[in-house]
């Protein structure tokens, strides 16, 4: 899917910085914290495409203020490439304080490092 | 009398060794270093905790809780004996840290989960953090 046509308020992009390629076929999931019960509600499960994108993570109706968690199955990803990974999974926990922003959360990943930032 | 005196002196010597031991404990095989990349300073005074996954119950056991020093480090995280192979989690109270500086942070906390297979090797897991980004890597 053309990323510019993805209407999700939260988008991601996973890059395999060790090999210099998009991280395709990585399983990921988006969760929102239920503050009444203090448990995580699973919102979406997906897999990155050939470009390392995963479209339609969240619809505008579901997008509300609160604490979210984006989890990437990094161990599984590297295992599929015949390698080990220092990080069995990566969970990015973040807060949404305004509904009129679009949040872009890339993950730049190698077997022994990762980085992320809040983009638009 | 002389043997008693010798015993007494021996006791002092052993005690002094103990003090030396306590003054310079063996370095932890696992270390961290928090850098505030937003301001270009060490991440001092950040609360953090180390946990190990119990594979039988799939629950996290808290091993130690601490705070980074002025250099952004937290010495003495774990002993050699306790550093067994397994899955560990280092949790950093990033939201609280930035709140202390009068700022908000996109990340209320950061948890880095990693696998240790060779505990005989030193492992360094730094956190480079700003209000809107962070990175980590396995060092030695």
Q: Provide the CATH number for the domain around residue A77.
A: 2.60.40.180
Cβ-based neighbours of B102, under 8 Å, separated by 6 or more: none
* Tokens standing for residue B129: 């953090």
**Would you state the pLDDT for residue B4?**
64
State the pTM of this model.
Answer: 0.89
Pairing relationship of beta strands A10-16 and A103-109 according to DSSP bridges? parallel
B115-140 pLDDT, tens digit each: 999 999 999 999 999 999 999 999 99
Going by pLDDT thresholds of 50, 70 and 90, the confidence category of residue B26 is confident
Helix (H, G, I), strand (E, B) or coil at B42: strand
Going by pLDDT thresholds of 50, 70 and 90, the confidence category of residue B19 is very low
Establish if A3 belongs to a structural domain. Answer: no
Q: Using CB atoms and an 8 Å cut-off, which of residues 14-73 of chain A contact chain B?
A: 67
Q: Which residue in chain B is spatially nearest to A95 when comparing CA positions?
A: B106
Q: Which residue in chain A is spatially nearest to B108 when comparing CA positions?
A: A94
Residue A68 CA to residue B90 CA, distance in Å, equals 19
A27-76 pLDDT, tens digit each: 999 999 999 999 999 999 999 999 999 999 998 888 999 999 999 999 99
B70-112 pLDDT, tens digit each: 999 999 999 999 999 999 999 999 999 999 999 999 999 999 9
Q: Are A87 and B113 in contact (CB under 8 A)?
A: yes
Give the nearest partner residue to B111 out of A91, A95, A113, using CB atoms: A91
Establish if A67 belongs to a structural domain. Answer: yes
Q: Quote the domain boundaries for residue A25.
A: 10-116
A75-100 pLDDT, tens digit each: 999 999 999 999 999 999 999 999 98
Give the nearest partner residue to B87 out of A67, A88, A112, using CB atoms: A88
Q: What is the ipTM of this complex?
A: 0.95
Number of domains chain A contains: 1
Tell me if A112 and B138 make a contact (CB, 8 A cut-off). Answer: yes
Q: Which domains does chain B have, with CATH numbers?
A: 28-136 (2.60.40.180)
Helix (H, G, I), strand (E, B) or coil at A25: coil
């Amino acid at each position: 899917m053309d990323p510019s046509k993805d209407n999700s308020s939260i988008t991601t992009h996973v890059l395999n910085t060790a090999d210099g390629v998009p991280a395709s076929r990585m399983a990921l999931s988006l969760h929102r914290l239920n503050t009444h019960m203090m448990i995580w509600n699973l919102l979406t499960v997906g897999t990155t495409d050939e470009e390392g994108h995963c479209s339609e993570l969240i619809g505008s109706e579901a997008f509300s203020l609160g604490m979210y968690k984006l989890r990437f199955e990094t161990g599984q990803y590297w295992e599929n490439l015949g390698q080990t990974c220092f990080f069995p999974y990566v969970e990015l926990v973040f807060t949404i304080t305004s509904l009129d922003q679009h949040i872009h959360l890339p993950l730049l990943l190698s077997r022994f490092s990762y980085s992320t930032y809040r983009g638009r | 009398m002389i043997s008693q005196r010798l015993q007494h002196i021996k006791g002092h010597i052993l005690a002094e060794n103990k003090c030396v031991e306590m003054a310079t404990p063996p370095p932890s095989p696992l270390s961290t270093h928090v850098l505030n990349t937003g301001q270009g300073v060490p991440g001092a005074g950040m609360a953090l905790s180390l946990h190990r996954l119990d594979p039988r119950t799939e629950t996290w056991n808290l091993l130690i809780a601490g705070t980074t020093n002025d250099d952004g480090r937290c010495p003495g995280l774990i002993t050699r004996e306790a550093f067994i192979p397994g899955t560990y989690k280092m949790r950093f109270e990033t939201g609280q840290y930035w709140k202390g500086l009068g700022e908000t942070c996109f990340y209320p906390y950061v948890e880095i989960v990693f696998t240790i297979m060779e505990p005989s090797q030193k492992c360094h897991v730094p956190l480079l953090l700003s209000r809107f980004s962070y990175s980590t890597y396995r060092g030695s």
